[in-house]
Amino acid sequence: MTIDRTRGSAPHAGQRILTGGAPIEKARAAVVMLHGRGATADDIIGLAEHLGQTDVAYFAPQAAGYAWYPQRFMQPTALNQPYLAAALGVVHDLVDDIVAAGIARERIVLLGFSQGACLALEAVARRPGRYGGAVGLSGGLIGAENEIWNGAGDLAGTPVLLGCAELDGHIPISRVQETAARFEKAGAIVTTRIYQGSAHGVNADEIELTTALLAGLGSPAAA
């Protein structure tokens, strides 16, 4: 099975999907990697080299116009439509395609940075269940305070990693903390790391924690 183009609706349908790591038919797990605003699939898939998991398949879809949605993530969701709905469709369809190729959802991790982190977390919240994990690097749940996901559904012990600088100019720590609380309410096992400073990037501790999460996913025979 070839997974190289996004499905779903405009504007994100038909975009390229970069792949890396192990071929999907030989992989024990898969990671969907979502880039941030103004970045590319090439940027985020480069992170795979630092994770050291050669038996994992990596998939990095490209957003149309280098952004998954136009406004800031804490704006009312209506202001980010139809882009947000299309972006969520890309992620959910990609997860479905990976499952159809033989990797169970329990061995699929959704990982993103910045805008991609928000999308990864929102995708899990919109379709709750047991995932291999969710990694939100400098991100949080999408929407205005009165409309973010309320923690409904059962994540059944899904490991969730949230990392952010305390003075990040794009991601308020209050939203990271609220995101952690909502995921915990839904039964996720949440690890939250708040770092000193204002750096908006991926640090060595986050790479180490993500590597450990991936290393803990079972082999196909054990799934």
Q: How far apart are CA 204 and CA 138, in angstroms?
A: 14
Nearest Cα neighbor of 135 from 153, 150, 114 is 114
DSSP string, 108-168: EEEEEETHHHHHHHHHHHHS-S--SEEEEES----S-TTTS----S--TT-EEEEEEETT-
Span 17-215: which CATH code? Answer: 3.40.50.1820
The one-letter code for the residue type at 89 is G
Q: Name residues whose C-beta falls within 8 Å of residue 20's C-beta, 6 or more positions apart in sequence.
A: 45, 48, 57, 58, 60
Residue 219 has pLDDT above 90, yes or no: no
Radius of gyration of the chain (CA): 16
Residue 220 has pLDDT above 80, yes or no: no
Q: How far apart are CA 23 and CA 80, in angstroms?
A: 35
**What pTM was computed for the model?**
0.96
Instruction: Express each pLDDT in 173-208 by its tens digit.
Output: 999 999 999 999 999 999 999 999 999 999 999 999
Distances (CA, A) of 43 to 49, 62, 66, 196: 11, 10, 11, 25
Q: How far apart are CA 204 and CA 51, in angstroms?
A: 10
69-84 burial string, b = 16+ CB within 10 Å, else e?
Answer: beeebbeebeebeebb
- Relative to beta strand 29-34, strand 133-137 is unpaired
Backbone angles phi, psi at 184, to 5 degrees: -65, -40
Instruction: Express each pLDDT in 118-171 by its tens digit.
Output: 999 999 999 999 999 999 999 999 999 999 999 999 999 999 999 999 999 999
Q: Residue 178: its pLDDT value, please?
A: 98
Say which residue, 222 or 164, is predicted with more confidence.
164
Q: Residue 4: its pLDDT value, please?
A: 92
Our measurement of the distance from residue 196's CA atom to the centroid of its chain's CA atoms, rounded to an integer in Å, reads 23
Q: Residue 2: its pLDDT value, please?
A: 82
